[in-house]
């Protein structure tokens, strides 16, 4: 009888404060060198800053909306045909959309300097919620590249 493997998604436990697997995944991406407690404190401090910035908004909802706003719908992938390499636009699956959104928000927050990471993360999440900032710009650039290369869409595999 074949053995059934659990997906990594099912092994992920929800975070202790919000009970959300998305938050848990985000914290795991913030983490450096296995220091989860440091990553958790950075994230929860950022959420506290978000709660102060938007007094009538739920920080978890702001976080989820920010992630949704950054998710790319389409991306370009390299495809070699004959001697030429084409940038072929392709749809992005749900898991990759989420992973890219998390990665871009963290890259944008880490790219800024002069403030603690929790404050930079709160700023970037606020910007993403308002559909502005570095992470949204990255998404728009990816969409523009896909639009510019839609002539090669017939190479999609």
Per-residue pLDDT tens over the stretch 109-122:
999 999 999 999 99
Q: How far is CA 152 from CA 14, 19, 78, 137, 141, in A?
A: 41, 43, 11, 24, 18
Helix (H, G, I), strand (E, B) or coil at 45: helix
Q: Is pLDDT above 90 for 11?
A: no
CB contact at 8 A, 93 and 72: no
Beta bridge partners of 89: 76
Look at residue 155 in the predicted model and tell me its pLDDT. Answer: 78
- Residue among 126, 101, 110, 100 nearest 46 (CA): 126
Per-residue pLDDT tens over the stretch 128-148:
999 999 999 999 999 999 999
Beta bridge partners of 28: none
Residue 100, CA atoms < 13 Å, CB-side half-sphere:
19
Structure tokens at 1: 């009888």
* DSSP conformation class of 20: -
Instruction: In whole angstroms, give the CA distance from residue 119 to residue 80.
Output: 43
Beta bridge partners of 88: 77
Per-residue pLDDT tens over the stretch 88-109:
999 999 999 999 999 999 999 9
């Amino acid at each position: 009888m074949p053995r059934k493997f659990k997906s990594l998604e099912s092994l992920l436990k929800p975070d202790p404060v919000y009970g959300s697997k998305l938050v848990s995944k985000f914290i795991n991406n913030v983490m450096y060198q296995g220091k989860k407690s440091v990553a958790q404190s950075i994230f929860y401090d950022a959420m506290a800053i978000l709660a102060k910035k938007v007094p009538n908004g739920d920080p978890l909802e702001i976080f989820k909306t920010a992630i949704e706003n950054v998710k790319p719908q389409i991306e370009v992938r390299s495809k070699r045909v004959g001697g030429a390499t084409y940038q072929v636009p392709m749809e992005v699956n749900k898991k990759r959309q989420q992973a890219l959104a998390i990665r871009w928000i963290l890259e944008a927050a880490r790219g800024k300097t002069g403030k603690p990471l929790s404050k930079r993360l709160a700023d970037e999440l606020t910007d993403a919620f308002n559909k502005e900032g570095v992470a949204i710009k990255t998404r728009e650039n990816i969409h523009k590249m896909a639009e510019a290369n839609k002539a090669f869409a017939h190479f999609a595999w």
